[in-house]
Chains A and B, each alone.
Chain A
């Protein structure tokens, strides 16, 4: 399992669920945990996106002994199985209803066609349109909400693990489904296609079973005036690949049910004519009820896999996990390990606000090779390499300079770090720029706002930034804290 490099939905959800649970833990504890997880994984490729993906996959399967993923995985399959059982139940039930035959009246061919051919065909066509992206355009933006509503309606009725999975899904959908991206949509399509397939498939199997165990007679009655000749030619064109199974004109004519002569007499005269309908029906169900659905199911599952991989690769929490896995853990060990840990935990949280910010290591430098750096309103830029290109915006810049910075940064397409002064509040002119930057960069490109603090008093202000920016609700937007070097004592220092 460790070697497989294809993330599953459970891996994706594990990233989401685990990082939400991690919100309570100190960064040091998380670093210790994740750094430890990777220890026996060193021989795997270490560079490039595939290496990162493998590393992250290993993480989802090992964190908390893999229990989170296991439960999510089991939950997903439990839910699917339950759904499948329900679909089979429905399919068998529908088949028993339309193929009911007690010798007094023939099975209505048209009813069979409606339930097991026309209905599946129409829903398959709607699904296909949806998968092609036509339907979401009809209801733009409503899909995550709709999905969330469906999931939450189902969630409470599911057993343990499955309801956890549903909760995780719903959580993501509630947050706008951005992290799941298309994976959520395709998961929805896959499930619906597989369940629909189960319905028609079990209907067809029931039909076969009834045929094998009892005599069935078919007739066709319609409240509409259907011309027997037209019906036959219609069937012929539908079954163009097997014209031989279509009953001949006489049989079609003969098996019209509403006649002066009672059905039992007609049946006695020529039972084979009434029985011969099973062939075209069976073919129609297979060709138009089952086959398209099979294709759609296969297609949507494939697309789901791909979407899951994409979402997994750019999951906003993934970057944090990878950083923790890759960065060596430095601990100043005291004689008593536990005591040292609690101390470290406390110094990790310098202020009481719950929006604790990750503090950047000032030794960690960003170069313009990998990151774009924006300096808002002449904020200090700790942690930026001397030769790195830094773009300015805000403060003394003109609006045109802002636009140029925005344009250049978006064009570079690299992750962005924006430095801001922690002692000033976030203004609308900043969030305006940030939001358009995020729009232009698109989902999946990390954007860090580094709030530079000078003294203890700026800590509260920094958490104001964190709250304000988290209200934007963009999963790839992160707020981190940075400390201005050589300026830790705010009270003692003069003016720039």
Chain B
């Protein structure tokens, strides 16, 4: 593919004191594709997303949005460049309804300065419809009464509503049953089909193999490899996750051994 990636990470470093959480990590995420990010516990996945979300500042390396290198000084910068992060804990207000949650912090107001509830309701409905969501009946349901999958749906629809170009999903199916996992994966696929660059963090190999177009494997803070889904088998990915290499894929034996000690 020759188009400019929606997001490209080049040689990103991030340390917490003596702990080298990320070292010269490269990652490419393209519009219309699901890029999975996998790795063992402590491999640096959460750290990487936080760098993309502007929560951590990178020590070295570049974040390139649509071809232009940018410096993120905070979450607001990231939002401005079209990044939306759907956190694992979802960040929804239980006491508010679906519409209120989707518009939280960016409420529409009328000319008189009062809340424009009608406009917000219509746009919320449209965002859900655009994702062909059938699991949510009324946009006035209070979020507390929603299932895990429905909550995930609302969080994702919020990203759609705000025209995010890059949507990062942190373990969206971790707490879900079989049916809801299925629904959310469908949703992830449709989100990408809308032209969004989706970055999916997951520990679940089945999910990754099913929905991803491209897979980035982090191994002890290094990008062991970023490969096309069609070019690899699940066994190879698992091997990359556990040892940092698989055949001619991954880190050189010196590199993987070097960081392991």
Same assembly: no
Chain A positions within 8 Å of B, measured between CB atoms, are none
